[in-house]
Amino acid sequence: MSQTSQLPPLVRALDSASEWFGRTLAWLIILMMLIQFAIVLLRYVFSVNSVFMQELVMYMHAAVFMLGAAYTLRHDGHVRVDIFYRKMAPRRQALINLCGIVFLLMPVMIFIIASSLGYVSNSWRILESSPDYGGIPAVFLLKTLIPLFALFMIIQGAIELVRNAYILTGRIVPPSADTEHLEERV
């Protein structure tokens, strides 16, 4: 039985949605590369420059990083100084993860939302557009990625909170747990 299938139904649904969204968002990278190739081709072969296309690559790049962060968290791909962590038993790792989520991730994400709402709402109020002629007339959409990033991270953080609580209490076994770690106590 997979780890996800043992989670409560709402958490399982959110986790599946996060997985689907991350995989779907990854296709944006291919589109971004094709547009970047077209920009280079247009500039160096045809001496044509497109501010709109350059900004489009920037918008897609921002979307991949900001909206893909929750997917990265789901797959434990975030940066971690794991000198001690990787040698710990899975239940101790779960405890460290719980503390990180509660005392670091959630407060920082709440702060990001609280501090960015005025910035984003002002951008929406004036329908802020590119300062460059021919640029994308939707800077307000780009700025909206900031609170969306934090919201997605909070949702994924809550999923990871439940997952790690289940690991800590022994309700699910982490996929990386081998038999010697299963015997260890926290």
Average pLDDT, the chain: 91
Buried b (16+ CB within 10 A) or exposed e, 34-51: ebbeebeeeeeeeeeeee
Q: Are 64 and 32 in contact (CB under 8 A)?
A: yes
Q: Are 54 and 39 in contact (CB under 8 A)?
A: yes
Look at 83 and 158; give whichever has higher pLDDT: 158
- What value does the CA radius of gyration of the chain take, rounded to a whole number of Å? 21
pLDDT band at 87 (very low <50, low <70, confident <90, very high): confident
Domain residues for 159?
A: 4-79+86-182
Whether 182 shows a pLDDT value over 50: the answer reads no
pLDDT score for 127: 97
pLDDT band at 1 (very low <50, low <70, confident <90, very high): low
Tell me the average pLDDT across 112-120: 97
pLDDT score for 141: 97
Tell me the average pLDDT across 113-131: 97
| Rounded Cα gap, residues 60 and 28, in angstroms | 7
Which residues, in sequence order, are CB contacts of 95 under 8 Å at separation 6+?
A: 164, 168, 186
pLDDT band at 181 (very low <50, low <70, confident <90, very high): very low
Look at 179 and 77; give whichever has higher pLDDT: 77
For residue 34, the number of C-alpha atoms closer than 13 Å in the C-beta half-sphere is 5
Whether 4 shows a pLDDT value over 80: the answer reads no
Digit-coded pLDDT (tens) for 5-53: 788 999 999 999 999 999 999 999 999 999 999 999 999 999 999 999 9
pLDDT band at 2 (very low <50, low <70, confident <90, very high): low
